[in-house]
Amino acid sequence: MQRFMSTVMTSVTKRVPIPPKGVDYRGKIVLAPMVRSGELPSRLLALHYGADLVWGPETVDRSMIGTTRKVNSSLSTIDFTRLPSHGSKDPGKDQPESLIYRIYPAREGRRLIFQIGTSDPERAVQAARIVAGDVAGIDVNAGCPKPFSTSGGMGAALLQTPDKLCSILEALVKEIVPEFEIGISVKIRLLETPEKTECLVKKLCATGITGLTIHCRTTPMRPRERAIREQLRMIADICKENGVACLMNGDVENRAQAEQLIAEYGVDGAMIATAAESNSSCFRSEADGGLAPWKEVVEQYIKTCLEVENRWGNTKYLCNHLIPGKRPEYREVTTSRSYHQLCKILGFEHLESQAKEVDEKLGIFPDAENQGRRGKKNKSAVAAGGGKTKQEKKKPLSERGVQSQPAIDPSTLELPTMDQPAVAMSA
């Protein structure tokens, strides 16, 4: 009996060593990796409200390979940029670089996990090496069911090629861990049967990873379908036997519920996804105030976006999640075209001046705010040519001495060729 208890205690306390610059996922409630919802301001907002760690959005290996790491002293960030792949249409004109990934070292660096989308060990290592020195861990996405990921053999497609997935993790453990002293982890989904899931988890835990996150849904399941938690205990036990931290993901609404689920199923931590999109203060404990009013959260989010000069489209997208759909401000925000308009709509007068500055830096000039400017320009141009502006009302043809023209024969019309395409409607 004593020998048996000793064996149990050994299996329970076994742990894969955490690299010196890595992070232990045990006891952590974290922000899940989400495309668009995992950009820098969203991560900083989650940390502000108490998230222990944050995952960045899945970033495909090919998009990181070839980027240039730049220290952005004006924003205190590290930017990974690259020239557009389509090249410049004007050889004599410099093309602006595309921002692929932005990190704020002082506020998130040692709490940020970089999630990579990959289907090849060599590319995975090559891409990870670019960013590994600025993050606390590298996570492989083996759970995203979206076509943009699975079509390239990445994401959930890797669940059908477990040997390839294991080879990717083994390559990262072998190459990245010794050089950068951070851990490697993986995020997966449930397979078709508990037996298949069990087999996969055992293989993954043997690769040398420090953490495994299980999204409690199968690949075909959509977010609206209830998460399946019946296999959690089994998965957590396998991870413990191998010394790997186990996090759960799926229908976790707040910190209090996360702590309850951790205790109930024996997992080491939990991820929050959709609930954080709606209100990032879900990471806050009841003792610290619990869920904050939506307007307080939105104000903090916009302040953060202005500080790091976030892309306007991404900011507006997240605001449409943070602002309740039944609020009158929601409809107005959906039609806003600039940071300045956004702050005016929400009554954040104290942010309007900064919003104007950021709009100018980002080149945001919405039509409503530039109508007068363009009108003056048009009038000046017309005046120089001795003509009239479009705004001036034209006199009837008879008053201008213009005789009516005979009907036009359609057969005499010169139709546009393929070299003269019609103007396409904007998407």
Predicted confidence at residue 95, as pLDDT, reads 72
In the structure, what pLDDT confidence band is assigned to residue 295 with cuts at 50, 70 and 90? very high
| 333 in Cβ contact with 320 (< 8 Å) | yes
For this structure, is 144 an active site residue?
A: yes
**Over the stretch 334-357, which tens digit does the pLDDT of each residue have?**
999 999 999 999 999 999 999 999
Q: What pTM value is reported for the model?
A: 0.82
**Domain boundaries defined on the chain:** 10-292, 296-362
Predicted confidence at residue 377, as pLDDT, reads 42
Give the tokens for residue 201: 């988890």
**% of the chain surpassing 70 pLDDT:** 80
Beta-bridge partner residues of 185: 139, 211
**Over the stretch 19-40, which tens digit does the pLDDT of each residue have?**
999 999 999 999 999 999 999 9
| 339 in Cβ contact with 363 (< 8 Å) | no
| 286 in Cβ contact with 52 (< 8 Å) | no
**Over the stretch 115-142, which tens digit does the pLDDT of each residue have?**
999 999 999 999 999 999 999 999 999 9
Question: What distance in Å separates the CA atoms of residue 191 and residue 331, rounded to the nearest whole number?
Answer: 41
How many CA atoms, within 13 angstroms, populate the side-chain half-sphere of residue 45? 33
CATH number belonging to the domain at 10-292, selected among 3.40.50.2300, 3.30.360.10, 3.40.718.10, 3.20.20.70: 3.20.20.70
Whether residue 425 is predicted with pLDDT greater than 80 in this model: the reply is no
Nearest CA among 247, 105, 128 for reference residue 182: 128
In the structure, what pLDDT confidence band is assigned to residue 88 with cuts at 50, 70 and 90? low
CA Rg value for the chain: 27
Mean per-residue pLDDT of the chain: 85
